[in-house]
Amino acid sequence: MLRMMVVTLVVVVLAGLRIPAVQAEDKQVLFLSKSQAFEHGPVARAEGRPSLCDVVLGKLVQEIGGTFHSTKDASLINAEELDKYDLVVLYTQGDLTQPSVDGAAPMGANGVAELIEWVENGGGLVGFHAAADTFRVGEAPHAFITLLGAEFLTHGAQFKGTIQVVDPKHPTMANVPDGWTLNEEWYLFRRFDKDTMHVLALLEPGAERAKQEAYNIPAYPIIWCSKQGKGRVYYSALGHREDVWTNPQFQQTVIDAMEWAMGKGRTRAQPNFDKVVPTAKPEEEAAAGSRAK
């Protein structure tokens, strides 16, 4: 009983001192996978069962001593709820303020603004794959896209691409082998936020340049991060395929990304786009062929 009270007192004292949440033993992780127009297989909950991402991310969060909360309810992205979390992981799609194919509740009108404020105050944000196909609306980049770093443009047929690590010293790249080849659906992007983006890895299309016109381009950003106020943001375009999520190497990179976003290791997020990304970008050339998925 006494021991319990001591624990309670310590918690109260820590709360009183406003120690950053990242120092807490039990990290709270919220995973949002609301899909407005197209729901990817890894986040689909067949007959109410947890999705593959629910299972994999739940296991990984447990491994790093955190508590995993999974939802498709985007209305939970609000200041009061976000206050409970150290990290938000997104595998979302579409305009989250709208009704969706998965039936999940929409985000409130202030959701994105409150998410941005939460990140700027020290929250960690990690996005995978279709997170960049979220809030792809309007003439100018949506505030969400500016936060994440770029907007999904299009993709071609899946192929085995090669990942070139451009910042091997970054904590999130510790388990990404340079020259890692993966069969994936490789996203192309537009509206890169070069003012904040720290590119971590490029996709090298290799022989695919001769096979698919969309990929007949120089190597381009596929994993990046940024610092937004006191918060850290990480995005990886990987995660379309189920065998990527079950790949132990990929899972280790997910752990590294989540821990870094919650404050572990050096920030190392100085903007580097023009230094590390080869010249031509796919945005203009492929603009005509944009499609969802």
- What are the residues binding Zn ion (CB under 5 A)? 185, 240
Pick 96 or 166: Cβ nearer Zn ion? 96
**106 φψ region: left (φ > 0), alpha (ψ -120 to 50), beta (else):** beta
DSSP H or E stretch at residue 55: helix 52-63
Pick 152 or 273: Cβ nearer Zn ion? 152
Q: Closest separation between CB of residue 290 and Zn ion, Å?
A: 14
Closest by Cα among 98, 211, 207, 105 to 161: 207
Pick 85 or 135: Cβ nearer Zn ion? 135
Q: Closest separation between CB of residue 67 and Zn ion, Å?
A: 28
Pick 114 or 185: Cβ nearer Zn ion? 185
Q: Closest separation between CB of residue 130 and Zn ion, Å?
A: 6
Pick 185 or 204: Cβ nearer Zn ion? 185
For CA atoms 73, 77, 81, 86, the dihedral sign is positive
Q: Reduced to 3 states, what is the DSSP secondary structure of residue 194?
A: coil
Q: Closest separation between CB of residue 186 and Zn ion, Å?
A: 10
Q: Closest separation between CB of residue 187 and Zn ion, Å?
A: 7
Question: Using CB atoms, what's the residue nearest to Zn ion?
Answer: 240
Q: Closest separation between CB of residue 99 and Zn ion, Å?
A: 21
Q: Give the separation between CA 75 and CA 106, rounded to whole angstroms.
A: 6
Pick 155 or 232: Cβ nearer Zn ion? 155
Alpha helices in 202-267, H assignment, sequence order: 242-245, 248-261
What are 147's two structure tokens? 């936060």
Contacts of 32 (CB under 8 A, 6+ apart): 71, 72, 73, 74, 76, 77, 88, 89, 90, 91, 92
What are 107's two structure tokens? 């985000």
Q: Give the separation between CA 241 and CA 219, rounded to whole angstroms.
A: 21
Pick 81 or 95: Cβ nearer Zn ion? 95
Q: Closest separation between CB of residue 132 and Zn ion, Å?
A: 10
Closest by Cα among 147, 199, 207, 146 to 176: 199
CA atoms within 13 A on the CB side of 41: 9
